[in-house]
Structure 1
Amino acid sequence: MRTTLRQADRYDQRVDRLGCVTERLVRAQRALADHDIDALLVTPGADLRYLTGYHALPLERLTCLVVPASGEPSLVVPELERPAAEAAGVDVAIRGWQETEDPFALVASIVGEVDRIAVDDHMWASRVFALREAIAAEQVLGGPLVAALRMRKEPSEVEALREAGAAIDRVHRRMGEWLRAGRTEREVGADIARAIIDEGHETVDFVIVASGPNGASPHHEVSDRVIEPGDPVVVDIGGTTAAGYCSDSTRTYVVGGEPDPEFVQLYDVLEAAQQAQREHAGPGVTAESVDRVGRQIIADAGYGDAFVHRTGHGIGQETHEEPYIVEGNTLMLAAGMAFSIEPGIYLPGRFGARIEDIAICTEDGLDVVNRTPRKLVRLP
């Protein structure tokens, strides 16, 4: 579906609200110079939104931001997409191309003779190869360079993440309206998806309703399984707000009866592990140490092999981005970094549980944006 004027107006408002993208481009150019890279090429996706405020559609026609290490950036767009780019308030020169023109040759003419160019990590392979033919230069990944910029959120971005967190909290607080024994996961998931929009998101990114044994699959979505009395149910949900920032929160519920006693024991361990991770995380500690703190508690209780994923992921204009909270990541957490803290315990064929909050590192601590109860919630 084409971008409508109404959508473009929202994008324009987002740019006004989230600060001047010009400064982001300046910082990107400094990073290019620091890494001896002559230009950065970015096609539609989160990196383009971050650097320009333009939520371009990923069409077969080439849209490409050209950021030289020095000089003025340009946005190459199909001529028929120029109105949408202009309506989005893009603060760079727009270079349109006609249907019979070669857009890769246009990008090459803007870049000029260079030695090294960076391409965004999510660029289609066909684009990468076409640019390789058009520009005689070494290609390197641009993702790490842009990720380093995006990882430290600006104050306006922090506020957008807080609002997204509050919106998904409102959905969790309404769970008793839909989640009950006798309904299928799919039925409950449909109600949750509608509520995600109603409570302040523009899009639904994912809905996981994993009941009983399905809770042991961390990325189960929904199925036609009927929820039974006493079932634990993992509900992991998220969306994107009009500001372009994501929510992601998981709570585990028990519906319509008493759960297996071992599940209660397991959940107590999980709650203690997640609390310890929240208390440990903050500026000056490593990402891997946050993972290690909770993982040790879970292992000491005998469930080490049942914690099968990393503790968390960064979040912003994408649900999953840097920094990743996992063993081996020695990155020191710093103010402005936003990430999930979501340990889980999963017993195949039986049940599982996960608790997830989005947290933002501050100068002197941690701001946890999700405020719904973390204790096991029992619903009628």
Structure 2
Amino acid sequence: MKLDRRILPTTDSIQNFVNKKRLYEDEINFEELRSYRLKRVKQELEKQNIEACLLFDPVNIRYALDTTNMSVFNMHNLTRYCFIPVDGPTILYEFFNCEKFSNHLHLIDEIRPAITWDYFCHGNQADAQLKKWTQEIKDITDTHCKNNKRLAIDVINGPAVEELNKIGLSIVDAKSVIEQARVIKSTDELKCMTAAIEVGEMGISKMREDLKAGMTENELWSILHKTNIDHGGEWIECRLLTSGERTNPWMQESSNKIIQPGEIVAFDTDMVGPYGYCADISRTFVEGNNFDVEQKKLYQMAVEHITYNVELIKTGMSFREFTEKSWKLSKDYYQNRYSCMIHGIGLCDEWPFIKYPTDGGQRDGCFEKNMTIAVETYIGKVGGKEGVKLEQMYRVGDNNLELMSHHPLEKI
């Protein structure tokens, strides 16, 4: 039986609906945004002596080409990808019957149906599909990768790597390429980030307003999700909202625990908002807004930690120097420390990831103008009752850090 499958012929066709504009939509030059990001990817490929990359991670595809389709689904299925050579056409391999949804994106030179060898899609035919996919990659790399056979790939499975090695390709990690490309933000990216932050802070304000004893952690957490979706946002990376004794140690996920009077409630937004940019803000409230003595102590330590580190950072300072001079967390709290003091932020958490002095990690690099970073802390005594999580977002300016997140800290 022949199916008559109807899909939209093009996103440019005349359609009978009205869109509500997202924040700052009229102020963002999307063509410049897209051109800047793709140029950054190609420059980094060239810098690392790689002739092309093959991207499967939906966040990386969005950065390079600003095209999305079932992003969360495609985080765990190899069903959509793109090929980006330093010299040559950019090719999007699109999910089944979705080829026309990205026709309006002029930096995509060609859209082809994706060949997938994912077991979910093909079962015992996956090996045969892998052979077809490998031949496709051989054809495009033979044409556009003539000087060397180094192909950068971000996400792939073992059988595919084996097949690509058999045809003479050397596979390198595209993560370093894309992470370095994403470090320095353009003016339009900063506008996108401002929109995401403002939406996140609408949600934070609503959460603070609605917080009351008797509601569950999940009920409070749902407010941020709804606010994000209402304003054109996309998803939330984690489930980090806890109350009372579940705030210590940190990293427990939101649950159906009922919030009690006077308990600390702490959360980390990790919110992928409008335009795909992340609002990564942590706040700690107290139900009823009356901090007890111990809660005040924890909160004041957290504020001091962030303030000290922010004032320490100057444009051009090395990560090594920052780590050596950073605020010292006392031993009673050190075992419960957060995984990092600072990380980059953009479409999601990004490089660099600056750890505490005892935890190692990369120390090379420095704070450069128009990097965007999150400065954060968790303060909770080992064996203590509760803990405090705070996090602020900053742009690296001409000389120091400029605050991007503006929801006020608690007055205690």
TM-score grouping bracket, smaller chain normalisation? 0.7 to 0.9
Indicate the SS of the match to 2:387: strand
Aligned 1:30-41 pairs, distance under 5 A: 30-41=43-54
1:86 is matched with 103
* Offset of residue 295 of structure 1: 3.6
Q: 1:310-349 counterparts in 2 under 5 A?
A: 310-318=340-348, 320-326=349-355, 327=357, 328=361, 329-347=363-381, 348=383
Change (3 A) 1:161 1:136: same
Q: C-alpha distance in 1, partners of 2:256/2:97?
A: 44
> Residue 221 of structure 1 is aligned with which of 244, 253, 265?
253
Q: Does 1:132 align with 2:165?
A: yes
Whether the aligned pair in 1 keeps the contact of 2:10 and 2:101 (CA below 8 Å) is: no
Cα distance in structure 2, aligned partners of 1:5 and 1:241? 26
For 1:159-308, what aligned pairs fall within 5 Å after superposition?
159-198=191-230, 201-256=233-288, 258-290=290-322, 293-296=325-328, 298-299=329-330, 302-308=332-338
Quote the Cα distance in structure 1 between the aligned partners of 2:322 and 2:227.
32
Q: Distance in 1 between matches of 2:11 and 2:163?
A: 29
Give the 5 Å matches for 1:145-160: 145-160=177-192
The correspondence of residues 59-70 of structure 1 with structure 2, limited to 5 A, is 62-70=79-87
Q: 1:127 to 1:43 in 2, by over 3 A?
A: farther
Single out whichever of 57-66 and 280-289 deviates more from structure 2. 57-66
Write the distance in 1 (CA, Å) between the matches of 2:141 and 2:387.
52
Distance in 2, matches of 1:240 and 1:209, equals: 16
Q: Which moved more, 1:165-174 or 1:30-39?
A: 30-39
Identity %: 21
CA distance in 2, matches of 1:7, 1:369: 37
Q: Could you say which structure has the higher strand fraction?
A: 1
* Number of equivalences: 368
Match of 1:122 among 130, 142, 155: 155
RMSD, aligned CA: 3.2
In structure 2, how many angstroms separate the alpha carbons of the residues matched to 1:212 and 1:16? 45
Structure 2 counterpart SS, 1:343: strand
Task: Name the CA distance, whole Å, in 2 between partners of 1:86 and 1:44.
Answer: 20
Q: Tell me if structure 2 keeps the 8 A contact 1:179–1:255.
A: yes
For structure 1, which segment, 172-181 or 197-206, has the greater mean C-alpha deviation from structure 2 after superposition?
A: 197-206
Unaligned runs of 5+ in 2: 1-6, 13-18, 20-24, 117-127
Flag structure 1 segments of 5+ consecutive residues without an equivalent: none
| 3-state DSSP of counterpart to 1:344 | strand
Match of 2:350, as an amino acid? E
Instruction: Report the residue type matching 1:68 in the other structure.
Output: P
Q: Aligned residue for 2:398?
A: 363
Q: Deviation digits for residues 112-141 of structure 1, max 9, x if unmatched? A: 0664323333334454344334x3121111
1:187-233 CA distance string (max 9 Å, x none): 22223322333356343444432111111132222122222222111
SS at match of 1:323: strand
* CA positional deviation for 1:183: 2.0
Q: Aligned partner of 2:61: which letter?
A: L
The equivalent residue for 1:21 is 34
2:89 is the alignment partner of 1:72: yes
- Say if 2:301 and 2:379, in contact at 8 Å, map to a contact too: no
Q: Residues 81 and 103 of structure 1: is their aligned pair in 2 closer, same or farther, counting only changes over 3 Å? A: farther
Question: CA 1:124–1:225 in 2, change beyond 3 Å: closer, same or farther?
Answer: same
Partners of 2:31 and 2:266 in 1: CA distance: 33
User: Whole-Å Cα distance in 2 between the matches of residues 374 and 65 of structure 1?
Assistant: 42
Q: Does 1:108 align with 2:141?
A: no
- Greater mean alpha carbon deviation, residues 63-72 or residues 154-163: 63-72
Asked whether the 8 Å contact 2:214–2:259 carries over to 1, the reply is yes
Aligned counterparts of 2:10 and 2:114: Cα–Cα separation in 1:
23
Q: 1:79 to 1:30 in 2, by over 3 A?
A: same
Paired with 1:71 and 1:199, the residues of 2 have a C-alpha distance of 37
Task: Tell me: CA distance 1:188–1:60, structure 2 relative to 1, closer, same or farther (3 Å).
Answer: closer
Structure 1 position 234, deviation (Å)? 0.5
TM-score relative to the length of structure 2 = 0.78
1:25-60 deviations in Å (ceiling 9; x for gaps): 444334333323232222242221111111244285
